[in-house]
Structure 1
Amino acid sequence: MDRSSGEGQISGEDGSRYVFTQEDWSDSRHPAVGAKVDFDVDGKRARRIFRLLEGGDVPAPVGEPRSKIVAAVLALFLGTLGIHRFYLGRTGSGVVMLLLTCTIVGALVTGVWAFVDAIRYLLMSDTEFAQRYPRR
């Protein structure tokens, strides 16, 4: 990556070269020459670039994964306030739950909603949970 322009190039498996900027880089580790990466193509631009793990083809996670147990506990105890939704990065539905809780009928609705969310999180496989609620 060129420090002065802020742009870099990646060679794809198809032999084509794709440009990227730091904003396209989605991995916590910095770009390095020769590193194996996975990316989405947008024309001649590489987007959502992740370095691959050594010896594998799975993108390296960004930060610690979210815990489905923490999400379920938050849903059970603070669910009517939508706290579990904020924890999972679902800010929009968290705000909706918070606003609905201001009324008695809304509090009943969010109570059931949060309970269903907690059960869903606990029954969901770890892999599916990590895919649905990635750390960004």
Structure 2
Amino acid sequence: MRGQILGVDRRTGDGLVAGDDGRRYTFRPDDWAHSGEPAIGLHVDFDPIDSRAQSIFPMPVAPGSVPAAVSPAAPTTASDRNKIIAALLAFFLGTLGIHRFYLGRNGSGIAMLVLSITIVGLLVSAPWALIDAVRYLVMPDEEFARRYAR
């Protein structure tokens, strides 16, 4: 049967395949019968046994085409962060690093907060925040979601 990998747990290697029959099948790392790692969105061929996918092989890719796992149209991880809010936080409160905390970048957020204590530090963190605000606005939605997904 053919299907598509829906997800893989990075810790255990367990995963889920959506079969062309509309059912979902689980798999374990030892069911993957190919070198390399399974990737989300990859089209595969497998043997369905009850609700488990076994002997899983990636589908061959036509020459010149991009595999589904790395295709720009492949499903992306949705981010619970909004790039407009991040840009506004960077523009209005950026010297304090609030936008960095919002995006889960706590280390650089603390650095910006500490820098904002002095005038010299403000001269560093203000342009940094302005650049961040512009960068968030021009960054494609898919890239923003990929970088800042939690």
- TM-score, normalised to structure 2, is 0.52
* Correspondence 1:34 to 2:25: yes
- Structure 1's unaligned 5+ residue stretches are 1-19, 26-30
How large is the RMSD of aligned CA atoms in angstroms?
A: 3.6
Q: How far has the Cα of 1:116 moved from its partner?
A: 0.5
Letter in 1 for 2:95: T
Cα distance in 1 for partners of 2:102, 2:113 equals: 13
Cα distance in 1 for partners of 2:147, 2:114 equals: 24
Q: Is the 8 A contact 2:77 2:146 kept in 1?
A: no
Cα distance in 2 for partners of 1:35, 1:99 equals: 48
Match of 1:76 among 79, 91, 98: 91
Letter in 2 for 1:126: D
Cα distance in 2 for partners of 1:103, 1:92 equals: 19
Q: Map of 1:17-28 to 2, 5 A cutoff?
A: 24=12
- Partner of 2:102 in structure 1? 87
Query: Deviation per CA, 1:89-110, whole angstroms, max 9, x where unpaired?
Result: 1111000000000000101211
- Partner of 1:131 in structure 2? 146
Alignment partner of 1:34: what SS? strand
Q: How far has the Cα of 1:68 moved from its partner?
A: 0.6
* Correspondence 1:67 to 2:82: yes
Query: Deviation per CA, 1:90-134, whole angstroms, max 9, x where unpaired?
Result: 11100000000000010121111000100001011111111121x
Query: Deviation per CA, 1:43-69, whole angstroms, max 9, x where unpaired?
Result: xxx8xx97x6xxx8656746x531110
- TM-score, normalised to structure 1, is 0.57
Q: Is the 8 A contact 2:76 2:142 kept in 1?
A: no
How high is the sequence identity, in percent, across the aligned residues?
51
Match of 1:102 among 110, 114, 117: 117
Which contiguous aligned blocks of 4+ residues in structure 1 show a shift greater than 6 angstroms? none
* Correspondence 1:111 to 2:137: no
- Structure 2's unaligned 5+ residue stretches are 1-7, 18-23, 42-67
